[in-house]
């Protein structure tokens, strides 16, 4: 199986939140396909500012791809993210991981945000 073979050479990190429906779907897909990964609880062990910078570098749309602008937490923010420096923004996201879309799955070179089984299959094949 190509999926299982690929995971032996690449470390996958899966940022998840247990009550998130998309996270549960992604976790089930990974289990069904025998994929090994490091699971990180997004709120208990959030990505650092440095990890977030690496994640943003893997996106095609930058911050918009990982920032959950529809979340209540984001709507309640009393800041304009356009006025923030990159460093300030990354630190805020690390301290407030509720502002991130989820799940986030990365092998260090590629990124999948949200549950997308075809993207997961492509990443792992």
In contact, 38 and 30? CB cutoff 8 Å:
no
Residue 23 annotated among the catalytic residues of the structure: no
Asked if 59 contacts 66 with a C-beta cutoff of 8 angstroms, the reply is yes
Selecting among 6, 13, 20, 119, the annotated active-site residue is 20
The residues with which 41 forms a beta bridge, in sequence order, are 16
Q: Is 39 helix (H, G, I), strand (E, B) or coil?
A: strand
Residue 79, by phi and psi: left (phi above 0), alpha (psi -120 to 50) or beta? beta
Active-site residues, by number, are 20
């Amino acid at each position: 199986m190509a999926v299982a073979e690929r995971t032996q050479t690449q470390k996958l990190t899966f940022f998840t939140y247990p009550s998130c429906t998309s996270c549960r779907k992604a976790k089930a897909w990974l289990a069904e396909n025998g994929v090994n990964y490091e699971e990180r609880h997004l709120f208990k062990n959030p990505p650092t500012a440095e990890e977030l910078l690496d994640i943003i570098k893997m996106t095609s749309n930058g911050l918009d791809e990982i920032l959950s602008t529809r979340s209540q937490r984001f709507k309640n923010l009393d800041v304009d993210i356009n006025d923030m420096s990159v460093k300030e923004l990354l630190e805020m996201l690390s301290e407030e991981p509720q502002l991130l879309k989820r799940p986030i799955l990365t092998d260090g070179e590629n990124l999948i945000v949200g549950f997308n089984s075809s993207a997961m299959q492509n990443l792992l094949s």
